[in-house]
Amino acid sequence: MATIWVFSFLLLGAVVLAVAVGGWLVLKRPLALLAWGTRRSLAASGLKKITVPTPVGPQTAFVGGLGPLLVLIHGAGDHAGTWAATAKDLVKDHTLLIPDLAGHGESAPLAGPIEAAQVCAGLEAVIASQAQGRPATLVGNSLGAWMAMVLARRNPEAVARVIAVNGGPLLGSNTSVRLLPASRQEARETMAQLRDTTSRVIPDHVLDDLVRTAKTGPLARFAATGLSMGAWVLTEEQLRELSQPVRLVWGVSDQLMPLDYAQRMLAVLPDARLLPVERCGHVPQMEAPARFRAVLREALAD
């Protein structure tokens, strides 16, 4: 009887501790909790986490499925989990490759500045390790779209087409958007510029976590190398040379990379089409996943 009582007491204590830790994470580290959940979702969709040795250190990626190779590339400050709601649909008829870009998620470097050259080199190595000679379709959001177009120009035989989601390699984004907010109010203003006005309100404790992570997170580490990014920017004349089809899937409420940015690329790309995603902003795969999946399917079938 005493043994049963002790066991019950220990079990109760474990439950209380778990609830307390879970509550602390929800309130104090909601972004870490979200990352954990979305990355678990990738595994639940049948994707396997792999580590690929590269010139910039080991890179983490999720891979799985059958069919044409489709690479989903996240934006600065994000990680592979941003594609969780997209992967569960596409894994049915594609081989998915979803990397953590260099310095993001679990990919090296885990500390210090993140150079665009490292992001590009890591991504090239990860794709080459899985492509096995097959040309890939690259779907990139924000920085991911920038890198996708750079890779398409550097390795035209390895890239079948590009789907750019609220991003690209041209200069001209809205620099008034504070991507590294220093206060809750600044974070609220930033989110208002990155999302549609009808989207769900972001709670204060999440805004506070955005401010906390802005100081030392991968976005800040990438922004610290701004002076060297110019070498990776493409001109409109260089975009004219892209031989691959490019589809511009665009959250129309985005004020960081507004619709006229997409139209500038549309005017010079040899084979391009603009597919708007209504009522969402800069990261449509997270803000409006169902509407984004429908437009992405249209882009893939085009």
The domain ranges of the chain are 29-301
CATH superfamily of 29-301: Alpha/Beta hydrolase fold, catalytic domain (3.40.50.1820)
Confidence check: pLDDT of 9 > 50: no
Q: Are strands 95-99 and 69-73 parallel, antiparallel or unpaired?
A: parallel
Compute and round to an integer the Cα radius of gyration of the chain. Answer: 20
More confident residue, 14 or 114: 114
**3-class secondary structure for 14-32?**
HHHHHHHHHHHHHHHCHHH
Confidence check: pLDDT of 12 > 60: no
List, in sequence order, every residue forming a beta bridge with 140; answer none if it has no partner.
Answer: 73, 164
Q: What is the pLDDT of residues 157-172, one digit of tens each?
A: 999 999 999 999 999 9
Q: What is the pLDDT of residues 222-243, one digit of tens each?
A: 999 999 999 999 999 999 999 9
Q: What is the pLDDT of residues 58-116, one digit of tens each?
A: 999 999 999 999 999 999 999 999 999 999 999 999 999 999 999 999 999 999 999 99
Confidence check: pLDDT of 20 > 60: no
Q: Which of 272, 281, 280, 261 is nearest to 299 (CA)?
A: 272
27 confidence band (pLDDT: 50, 70, 90): confident
25 confidence band (pLDDT: 50, 70, 90): low
Angle formed by the axes of helices 116-131 and 143-154, to 10°?
A: 60
SS3 content of the chain, % helix, strand, coil (to 5): 50, 15, 35
Is 75 within 8 Å of 222 (Cβ atoms)? no
Q: What is the percentage of the chain residues whose pLDDT exceeds 90?
A: 90
